[in-house]
Every structure is written in structure tokens, then in C-alpha cells.
Amino acid sequence: MVLLEPAHAIDVFSQLRETSARRGWALLALAVLTNHIHAVVRVEGDPDGAVLLRDFKSYASRRLNTAHGKPVAGSWWSESGSRRVLRDEKNILAAIEYVSSQTGALFVWAVAPVGESIGIDVG
């Protein structure tokens, strides 16, 4: 198992924002913990969650490998990952709140409901 550190968290955040922007997705919230991440992403249409998960893991891995070297375990991420679809604004706001309130997170970032960005470094 790979344990992420604060420097990894910043690289993951930067890459997920870049990946989202390139794909036309909106990253709404992110919490990077030592052994996993939580993200809330707004995507138009009815996307395949597996595609989002694959792209985020792939591009974040490349960024981490370049900046920190490949981990001894061979991969930064596990094989699986949740891909829950949030269909209404109430659930999206609840998910943003959940992700934003992760205790022990290395890095937490969220977009406020009024459109202002909030960045919180708790590492």
C-alpha cells in the first residue's frame, strides 16, 4: 500500500484540476488523504464513471511518477474506486460538504456554492 504525503497531495490536486479542465469537467471538491482521495466532479451528459476514474488515476500517476518516482508497490492506486452518480443539486452539495469535512486530510479543496473557490491546506 502506498501512503501519500503532503507533496503528493499538491501534485494530485494540480493534475486533477488540469485533467478536469482539459476534459471540460468541473472539479467541485477534492480531499487527498494518506491512502485515498475523494473527489466531486460535475460532468455534462451521462458519462461513464469508469472513464473519469481511469483518466484521473492515469494522469495523476504520471504526475506523481515524474515528480516523485514510481512507488515500490508499482502503482499509486488500488484497482477499484467508487463512481457514484449524483443526480440532483442537493446530493452534489452534500457530497461537497462530505469531501470538504474529511478529518486527517493532507489537502482539502472545494468550490463554494456561490461559485467562489475555497482552498484549505490541512497538511
* Closest to 84 in 3D by CA, of 95, 100, 76: 95
Question: Check: CATH 1.10.3470 for 6-120?
Answer: no
Burial class of residue 71, CB neighbours in 10 A (0-12, 13-18, 19+): middle
Task: Output phi, psi for 51, to 5 deg.
Answer: -70, -45
Give the mean pLDDT of 78-86.
86
Find the helix packing angle between 6-23 and 49-68, rounded to 10°: 130
> Any idea how long the chain is?
123
All three cell numbers of 114: 456561490
Give the mean pLDDT of 93-116.
85
Instruction: Express each pLDDT in 29-71 by its tens digit.
Output: 999 999 999 999 999 888 888 899 999 999 999 999 999 999 9
pTM over 0.75: yes
Give the mean pLDDT of 21-27.
94
